[in-house]
Amino acid sequence: MSSSDSKKTWSTVLDVVRNRVDQDEFDTWLKPLHVLEATDQEYRVGVQNQKVQDYVAEYHQQRLEEVLQFVTSRNIRLVFQVSSGNRELFPLGNDRQDFSEEIRSASPGFSPEYRFETFVEGPSNQMALAAARAVAERPGANYNPLFIYGGTGLGKTHLLQAIGHYVLAQNQAAKLLYVTGEDWLNAYIKAAQKHTLEYFRGQFRDKVDLFLVDDVQFFSGKERSQIEFFHTFNALHGAGKQIVLTSDRMPAEIPLLEERLKSRFQWGLIADIKPPMLETRIAILKNKAMKKGYELPHDVLDYVATNISMNVRELESCLARLELEANIRACPIDLKLAKEALKTIIRSRATNVNPERILAVVASFYRLNVEELSSQRRLKSITTPRHIAMYLCRKLTTMSLQEIGSSFGGRNHSTILSSLQKIERQMKMDSDFAATVHDLERKLMKQ
Ligand code: ADP
Ligand code: MG
């Protein structure tokens, strides 16, 4: 099998899977997977590190393998292998080995696609883009920190990583560290448990020139980590190192965040990203299609861009769905196909399915009240309906796992994920159960 064939196949596999898992989940764990070697019996796929390998093997291997077998019509096995072949996937510049295992495994990796060249400019992101470029050109000299905020799926992570790519391209020896707020926090907790805090702190002081922290809203309510982060911030800032932060809201609006941290976050420049206007949405779609080597007809561009307006990630997943559908039917992408393929996504908006309605419908079906359904109680008679409600939120709305978590009493992203997986498994095994879930879904779509 030629390597370009296997790459193409793998990218189709990822496109299919992309529509079935949460986008953050996909971006973090699955998107960086790449084919190292392929035969008719086996695909050897590279992962960044052991942590990724364990996670993907546990939660995604089966699904990936199924889709791979479906796409190729062959009984192909999937084997993961930690691969250091692609330096770009490693976010720590050239001194990765200097970092502790906690920090190294915390970094989820860069996407090679998140560069300035692939970011479409528009009025909604102009200021954030200009600031990011200025910072990338002269780290530490312009705005420090740069704080980028905006709703989910609007390009914050893309810009943050674009800064990293640019800086590394200018200077191979630049030491940069990209972490999410959550990763940083976990690394900190581990270091505290192992009594290696001194070492943990020391790493930042002289080993980082550019500190990229994604989703700092995660620090909300985590007091001790905030204090630690405050010190890290000060040490780096004091040494003239560039810091860039992103968040889903502006510093002043992050709840349960210490005043002094809020004030630090506001020291430099705060730039927001808003949902893109129609022209920008069309340009983004055009660009993405062009990169994959095809053009979309005008009416399709209009249809998708008009109906999907708040989130670029969703635009992308619509495109992936269109490609897949066109592939399966072996016909070109036209308006008729687009309407059919995107029916569920676009109709769910029109019918205005929201978590409140889902909770109400599921609660009344199981004769529970809505409070019980979103409570922390662990009786099985409540947890199953609760998981169904979560599943329906995921399927019928555009909510992210995190947003679903907050609607269900502040549960975290991985709890929600495992609840969804439980429902999916049970639906596969028990057709009565699946029928019940489908009935509830139809009920919601009708109203
Ligand atoms: P956020 O971090 O704000 O939730 P991401 O940076 O992950 O959003 O962006 C979601 C997806 O949308 C990514 O695949 C990204 O490449 C794409 N994207 C967002 N904004 C743009 C843009 N202006 N041009 C091109 N792609 C974009
Ligand atoms: Mg992000």
User: What does the pLDDT read at residue 108?
Assistant: 52
**What are the φ/ψ torsions at residue 262 (nearest 5 degrees)?**
-55, -45
Specify burial of residue 438 (Cβ count, 10 A radius: 0-12, 13-18, 19+): exposed
What single-letter DSSP state applies at residue 277?
A: P
Query: In terms of Cα–Cα distance, which of 248, 241, 177 is closest to 219?
Result: 248
Give residue 140's region: left, alpha or beta (phi > 0; psi -120 to 50). left
Check residue 83 and give its pLDDT.
67
Tokens of 438: 């489908």
- Is there an atom of ligand 1 within 6 Å of 158 CB? yes
pLDDT of residue 172: 79
Q: Which atom of ligand 1 is nearest to the CA of 122?
A: 23
What pLDDT, on the 0 to 100 scale, is given for residue 87?
32
Pocket probe mutation, ligand 1, options 25, 158, 165, max atoms within 8 Å of Cβ: 158
Ion ligand 2 residue ranges (Cβ < 5 Å): 156-157
Which residue is closest in CA terms to ligand 1's atom 18? 155
pLDDT for res 264: 96
Separation of CA 240 and ligand 1 centre (Å): 29
Burial group, residue 198, by CB count within 10 angstroms (0-12, 13-18, 19+)? exposed
Residue 311 CA to ligand 1 center (angstroms) comes to 8
Phi/psi-derived region of residue 256, left when phi > 0, alpha when psi is between -120 and 50, beta in every other case? left
Residue whose CA is at the smallest distance from ligand 1 atom 21: 155
Per-residue pLDDT at 35: 87
Q: Minimum-distance ligand to the CA of 150?
A: 1
Beta strand extents in 260-391 (DSSP E only) = 269-273
pLDDT of amino acid 397: 77
Measured distance CA(127)–CA(149) in Å, rounded: 11
Determine the atom of ligand 1 nearest the C-alpha atom of 312.
Answer: 12
> What are the residue ranges in the chain where pLDDT is below 70?
1-4, 83-110, 347-352, 398, 447
The enclosing H or E element of 38 equals strand 34-38
Q: Global pTM?
A: 0.65
